[in-house]
Structure 1
Amino acid sequence: MKNTYNPLQRLHFYAALFITPLLLILTLSGIGYLFFTDVENKIYQHEFFGKSEETEQQTLKQAVKEIEETYTGYSINKISIMEKPYNDRITISNEDGNQQYLFLDDNNQIVASQNAKYTYSNVMRSIHSSLFTENTIINYLVELTACWTIFMIVSGTYMLVKKKLITNKNKKLRFQKWHALLGLIVAIPLFVIVLTGIPWSAFMGSHISKLGEDYPNLGNTELRYNPPNSDINEIPWATKSKKEPVSESGEHKGHADHHGASSSVTDLPNQMTVDEISSIAQKEGVSKPFSIVYPSDEKGVFTVSKGSNSGVTGLDVSPNEETTVYYDQYSGDRLGKVDYEEYGVIGKWFTWGIPLHEGHLFGLPNKVMNLLVCIAFLGAIVIGFISWMKRTKNFSNILPKRVNKPLSISVISMLIVLGILMPLFGISIILVFIIEAILYFKKKKAVS
């Protein structure tokens, strides 16, 4: 008889053994991130809603000039024009990658500053993506954890049905039963949450982006090779790497050299002011909140955008409100516009999926739903651990007993399909089978 249950049970155990520590961290940091807007509204009241001691009115352009003079070595990344009662926010960074947030009141005077790396939302996000290390290897481990979580959902559901745990009244199996039932309850929403986290993954995320770039009908944008990262810029995910239109005026060629490696230029001759661009955008129907990104050189354009996945308290909008508009930096003419309706399948899916993953797609109910799924999942992990401890009498019984029968075609097919769809999972499965082979031959040698 071909064997199905036992290898799935062993692989399910391998998954739990390898990924549970990281999975606990990801789940807890995910819970922390769910409520980042509520937390930040409380702990950053002065930054978000406070007033400067300076009461003189100045323009945004004057505020930008003051910031550039005060924070030498920093360049302006973007200006977030917020809806009241939030203060507007200017993001600056230097060549070392250090980033600051500066908040402006109604008079465009500086209220306060923040080190971007250590804000609550960015700390939670960094823990969730790389354990606060910003290390590529950790990014891959996080993605691998997501892959094995999907396998655990599939294999756990199969074993629940195969072993008939729902109707099984054996008291010795009660912890297995509760573990399986909790897993079944959260299976679909957890699968969706994991799947909608893929845009940030190091390997699969980059290939999905490349797919959208190679096939515009899917992405409708030239997506970046790297996965999206909402704390780098606040342009909607689906248009982050769309090639910008070029401003018509070329009379300032060579001026960009004056700015060295600066990511934006704010003082070109004849350049429109940021106040004028903001006014034009609002007259053309771009309502607050939105972000303005300065041109990167003398041929660049002003980019005005509304995004559903900015990761910034008070800046997110509904997915169908997303828009990206490009303005000539000298004339203020609109050179291009991309709305949500123009996105391809990939762009639309992740435009909805990212805020669903983050818990703000449909307000408080989304947060509560994600929270309950996370709590139930944590419960399933704990109960599964208790069940394993009760079955394990000594170290030799740490693994589910191997049944030396050929693997079923269904198991092999499932692993191949999952390995192709999730390459990191495929590589890890090969490593697992190497371990299995070592254990098998070691046991065979001991018997002989």
Structure 2
Amino acid sequence: MTNNEKNRKSSGALYKTIWRWHFYAGLIIAPFLVILAITGAIYLFQPQIEQQLYQDYYEVTPTGERVSADQQIATVKEHYPKALVTSYRPGETETRSSEVGINLDGVSYTVFMDPYTGNEIGQLNDSDRIMDRIEEIHGELMIGTIGDRIVELVTCWAIVLIITGLYLWFPRKNKGMAGVLLPRFNKGQRILRRDLHAVPAFWVTAGMLFLIMTGLPWSGFWGTNFQNIVTNTGVGYPPSVWTGSAPESITKTKEIADVPWAAENLDVPESTIQDYKVLSIDNLMQIAEREGIDPSYTIYIPQTKEGVYTFSAFPAKAEDEVTMHIDQYSGAVLADYRYDNYQFVGKMIAWGITLHKGTQFGIVNQLIGLLICIGIVLTSISGFYLWLKRKPSKKLGAPTAPSVKTMKGFLLILIILGILFPLVGLSLIVVWLLDWLLIQRIPAMKQFFNA
């Protein structure tokens, strides 16, 4: 056998190896990718959707002087005497209602108040908001921690899908852009079906990879560990965010408030207990105005005598994010953490999140995100259709399993991905065990999977 023949045989074996992994990865995760893409596309338009759904709660008519925030909270306490008041949001515009967060019998509600009349507009159970349900499906398939891990596993395996797909797509014969950047409509149905999957998949690849990498920091396993590494290596927040010494605290900001990603692991300081009266919410609003905090902020109210007030603002643009801890007695700023304080990684994650959510550049950002989501759905469906058309009777239709000797380079790539994304590594071990214990030992399964 000549060297050219050996090279062609080796190249063919590698192609089949990558095709086989692409086939299985696509077949298993495609349904989940469709769910993530559809829910993500809907969530992109959260501001517009919620504005329509809750217009009667959100909009108020300015009629003179505003009723003080403390008086509004007092009214809420009268209406819900057994509730614990947890937060206050004044509203970012003159025509926006204010919101009082309460906890009643372990359930979180938002009470909407007209800041001009001081009257209650209505209340919503936070867990019943439609967009929160969409977010729950998108992030954890509505099944909690297990769902979060499944979503993380799917997104990590989507990286394998992208890498193998690009290899299969890469042109090996220079015959122009047909079949590479544009579908071939005059080469028969088989070629057209392939092109209608491969070509759109190429165009959506960059956007899909971006959504994966910007979504992973939110994941429960990889995201949490990544966040801890960012914090522990000093590329999270610098010492300059503290007005004094950084506190030694076991409480993280994410445990007491909904804050930007970069601030979630910020240690919570303690108020210095003195013979001071606790600051009113109206005092806090004056501090927010003095400190130039974005008007979309929420004030989280301390529940202990050592606790602190926390300002949290993560509006449409990443550069307007603010997390600030305030001594509840003296009003001293204990920690001031803004976008300008973020280290490089923090800034990249902040931009990634706002771009992922479609808020950074408004409607243009939303439409680009929508096109990517549509592309993911269409390529998933076209891939499934391509499989149905090629699938032989009584077989799965997977490419022939190659020898392990021909997979060394590709296995190295999988091992690297398994190290970078531990859930991928764990799933690879499970796949290998299934293959070794079942598929290779049961003739019918070996034939079905073409192993």
1:440 is matched with which residue?
Answer: 440
SS at match of 1:202: coil
Conserved? CA contact 1:212–1:220, under 8 Å: no
1:260 is matched with which residue?
Answer: none
Cα RMSD for the two superposed structures: 3.0
1:372 is matched with which residue?
Answer: 371
Conserved? CA contact 2:67–2:115, under 8 Å: no
Conserved? CA contact 1:100–1:113, under 8 Å: yes
Go from structure 1 to structure 2 and tell me whether the alpha carbon gap of 1:446 and 1:412 turns closer, same or farther (over 3 Å shift).
closer
- Aligned pairs for 1:387-406 (under 5 A) are 387-404=386-403, 406=405
* Separation (CA, whole Å) in 1 of partners of 2:378 and 2:442: 36
Go from structure 1 to structure 2 and tell me whether the alpha carbon gap of 1:405 and 1:143 turns closer, same or farther (over 3 Å shift).
closer
Conserved? CA contact 1:250–1:298, under 8 Å: no
**Aligned-residue identity in percent:** 27
Offset from partner CA, 1:371-421 (integer Å, 9 cap, x none)? 001111111111111111111121224322223462333201210111111
2:306 is matched with which residue?
Answer: 299
1:31 is matched with which residue?
Answer: 41
Conserved? CA contact 2:279–2:331, under 8 Å: yes
Offset from partner CA, 1:3-33 (integer Å, 9 cap, x none)? 3222221111211222122221111111111
SS at match of 2:405: coil
1:234 is matched with which residue?
Answer: 258
* Separation (CA, whole Å) in 2 of partners of 1:226 and 1:333: 19
1:183 is matched with which residue?
Answer: 201
| TM-score, normalisation: structure 1 | 0.85
2:380 is matched with which residue?
Answer: 381
Please report how far the alpha carbon of residue 245 of structure 1 lies from its aligned counterpart in structure 2 after TM superposition: 3.0
Please report how far the alpha carbon of residue 55 of structure 1 lies from its aligned counterpart in structure 2 after TM superposition: 10
Structure 1 residue runs of 4 or more that deviate by more than 6 Å after TM superposition: 54-57, 224-230, 444-447
Please report how far the alpha carbon of residue 277 of structure 1 lies from its aligned counterpart in structure 2 after TM superposition: 0.9
Conserved? CA contact 1:199–1:228, under 8 Å: no
Can you give the 5+ residue segments of structure 1 that lack an aligned partner in the other structure? 252-268, 308-315
1:14 is matched with which residue?
Answer: 24
- Aligned pairs for 1:151-190 (under 5 A) are 151-161=160-170, 166=180, 171=188, 172-190=190-208
* Separation (CA, whole Å) in 1 of partners of 2:233 and 2:195: 46
Conserved? CA contact 1:77–1:91, under 8 Å: yes
Aligned: 1:142 with 2:166 = no
Can you give the 5+ residue segments of structure 2 that lack an aligned partner in the other structure? 1-8, 174-178, 240-245
Deviates more, 1:297-306 or 1:436-445: 436-445
* Separation (CA, whole Å) in 2 of partners of 1:61 and 1:145: 47
- Out of 220, 223, 242, the position equivalent to 1:205 is 223
* Separation (CA, whole Å) in 1 of partners of 2:47 and 2:65: 30
SS at match of 1:396: coil
Go from structure 1 to structure 2 and tell me whether the alpha carbon gap of 1:123 and 1:229 turns closer, same or farther (over 3 Å shift).
farther
Please report how far the alpha carbon of residue 78 of structure 1 lies from its aligned counterpart in structure 2 after TM superposition: 1.7
* Separation (CA, whole Å) in 2 of partners of 1:359 and 1:318: 10
Conserved? CA contact 2:440–2:446, under 8 Å: no
- Aligned pairs for 1:401-440 (under 5 A) are 401-404=400-403, 406-437=405-436, 438-440=438-440
Offset from partner CA, 1:40-81 (integer Å, 9 cap, x none)? 1112111000469x9996421122233234324432222122
Aligned: 1:88 with 2:95 = no
What amino acid is aligned across from residue 110 of structure 1 in structure 2? Answer: E
2:357 is matched with which residue?
Answer: 358
1:327 is matched with which residue?
Answer: 326
